[in-house]
Structure 1
């Protein structure tokens, strides 16, 4: 005589709940893992990029900056000056415009202290304009005397010096009626004519004309400094990358706990 299986001995009731490893191997969670790893890899790449940007300076070695090159090989008129060319020694042929000399006050020159810069308007054969800091004078009278000599001398010259980025105009210059910043954007409005565009930086001449002293222009610093803000961002991206994987593990665990709770009978229920 056959007997029907008792509910208490039903094989289905003895089926063990799936393990976390078994749940993780389901197609749905494999796809979720691939997505989490892709997101984590993106965050890690961003962290590496931030870390590389945390090292400031040292991009240009002293040997590179002190090798004299043609101005038009490292800079272009009417284009921003690249930070990689800051401090580069350059040379170019130009004509100094007689009526466009400017005197800048409150300019420091190493041990001599504060004084005056004489800035000239140089025009290349192509017609592009270059602001050139020609030399330093201790007094305004000495600067004016040097300008008088420059206007009486031949205007064509080969200029060799250090290329530096333009400075920002100072509000105090307008209030006091004098200028202290070498701002190319301001000089363009003071020069008599700009034939064909202007370079975005200026050149500090290595040699000063008669009546002026050479302006101190040391090579750019090659020291490497650490930007802590970028380091913080790099660590932050790494944490985000780890959180993407952690979130996947947490979701798999939640599913495993839910299935185990459903498959395990409550001992309080008879």
Structure 2
């Protein structure tokens, strides 16, 4: 085992084990959130500009954060989204494009819910007629984009069943020069004025549950890296021992193939 070849292999095993140990330490450092979101933090209403900027993804701890936003409704951009549940009852959301003031951008807003498609279509028409460009202030929860869905064969290609600003964008009226768009959407919690006249029910959007500050999957990965580090030494030991035993047998005149 003290021969140069095995010493070199031992040094290599040390290097490999050191890399595995570093990976395990890194994995362990990410397994525990040392700065978790305080309880009730999502219920504090913050300006949307302090939470997410247009074009940016919403960070995980901020999903469900209550925000306040100023803007104006864009006429003819109120669209019905199906397969929406309110307290386990399936129905429809009526959504709209809010042209925010600061920063200037397009924000998808889920305005209200109804169990009837006919009522949802009627509410969308009412809201389209009432959109005069007047500035409004909304509060609600900011939620990550659900992602677009490709309609199945035979389905209406304009049917929206996912709350996805990326999908709604193709049906919105946008300025010719383009405009920034928020990736997440807002579920309005205080429909007033023309929104209330549309006959929609408030969207049920409870506070998000606080997750555990400990990521057990990362801890499992850290243990795996430690096992790999130990295996690097064990592999070197087994190879060196087998070679040593073979040399001893040859020295004693024992043919290992005859045993």
Specify if TM > 0.5: yes
Does residue 96 (structure 1) correspond to residue 73 (structure 2)? The answer is yes
Q: Which one has a bigger Cα radius of gyration?
A: 1
Once the 2 structures are TM-superposed, how far is the Cα of residue 87 of structure 1 from its aligned partner? 1.4
CA offsets 1:216-240 (integer angstroms, 9 cap, x no match): 1112222449988767655543332
Partner Cα distance (1:30, 1:218) in 2: 62
The residue that corresponds to 1:15 in the other structure is none
Per the normalisation by structure 2, the TM-score is: 0.76
User: Following the alignment from structure 1 to structure 2, what is the Cα–Cα distance between the partners of residues 134 and 151?
Assistant: 15
CA–CA distance in structure 2, aligned partners of residues 149 and 128 of structure 1: 20
Aligned length: 241
1:201 corresponds in structure 2 to 184
Q: Which runs of 4+ in 1 moved over 6 A?
A: 51-56, 225-232
Shift of 1:89: 1.5
1:156 aligned partner? 135
In structure 1, list runs of 5 or more residues that go unmatched: 1-22
Paired residue for 2:96, among 83, 108, 120?
120
SS at match of 2:182: strand
1:145-194 Cα shifts (integer Å, max 9, x gaps): 46515642663111211111112333347714532221211111111115
8 A Cα contact 2:36 2:213, kept in partner = no
- Provide closer, same or farther for how the CA distance between residues 214 and 256 of structure 1 changes in structure 2, counting only shifts above 3 A: same
| Range with bigger deviation, 256-265 or 151-160 | 256-265
Give the 3 Å change call, closer, same or farther, for CA 151–32 of structure 1 in structure 2.
same
**2:257 corresponding residue in structure 1:** none
Question: Matches of residues 204-219 of structure 1 in structure 2 within 5 Å?
Answer: 204-209=187-192, 210=196, 211-219=199-207
RMSD: 3.4
Q: Kindly tell me: are residues 220 and 61 of structure 1, through their superposed partners in 2, closer, same or farther at Cα, counting changes over 3 Å?
A: farther
CA distance in 2, matches of 1:157, 1:39: 61
Gaps of 5+ in 2: 255-259
**Secondary structure at 1:41 match in 2:** helix
TM-score of the aligned structures, taking structure 1 as reference length = 0.73
Higher helix share: 1
Query: Which whole-Å CA distance do the structure 1 matches of 2:25 and 2:86 have between them?
Result: 41
